[in-house]
Amino acid sequence: MIKNKLITHFLFVIIILLTACSEKPLQAVSTSDTILAFGDSLTAGYGTTPKNSYPSVLAALSGRTVVNAGISGETTSEGLLRFTQVLDENNPKLIILLEGGNDILQNLSFSDAKNNLSLMIQEAQARNIALVLIGVPEKNLFSSAAPFYEELANEHDVVFAKDLLAKLLKSPDLKSDSVHLNAAGYKKMAEEIYQLLQSNGAF
């Protein structure tokens, strides 16, 4: 009797663990939901036409509405000022946050950039909006994402693409200049983001 109870308890624990492991970090995004791509020039699509920006390509790949809320030249402090209004206007199910490149290029405080991004993530989570964070590399051709991006991902438990952008920027044939992508680069970026979202349960 005791042995049977132990076996039953053991099986119950295994089922719970397997269920937990099968859960995806992101909720499914339906065709009626909106994805918000928020950021700076890399989101706006600087270096190509609007229809070749990564949000436009991602919309075509996913069959979802993807709002391009990218503003070229924007810093994280400027992005923070408009973040709440953009959420109010679009009511997204999912946010792709790619910002901080201008802070890095302008040698602004990494601590301030991290805090600004943290406040954006907290606002999204307070509204129960899923968020994917894209890391931006430091001013070094061979660098990975600046360390504060991974810190943010760990602190807020969000889906994180650490090397996606860094990898693309290392390919000259995918760039329009030293820090921006061209049409082929944004297409590749959209494809990789689509795969990331798919593998994490969004599609």
What are the sequence ranges of the domains in the chain?
29-199
| pLDDT for 83 beyond 60 | yes
> 31-46 pLDDT, tens per residue?
999 999 999 999 999 9
Q: Give CATH for domain 29-199.
A: 3.40.50.1110
Q: Given this model, what pLDDT does residue 139 score? A: 85
DSSP the chain: -HHHHHHHHHHHHHHHHHHHHH--SS----TTSEEEEEESHHHHTTTS-GGGSHHHHHHHHH-SEEEEEE-TT--HHHHHHHHHHHHHHH--SEEEEE--HHHHHTT--HHHHHHHHHHHHHHHHHTT-EEEEE--B-SSTT--B-HHHHHHHHHHT-EEESSHHHHHHT-GGGBSSSS-B-HHHHHHHHHHHHHHHHHTT--
| pLDDT for 15 beyond 50 | no
Q: Given this model, what pLDDT does residue 143 score? A: 81
Q: Given this model, what pLDDT does residue 3 score? A: 57
DSSP 29-69: --TTSEEEEEESHHHHTTTS-GGGSHHHHHHHHH-SEEEEE
Amino acid sitting at position 117: L
The reported pTM is: 0.88
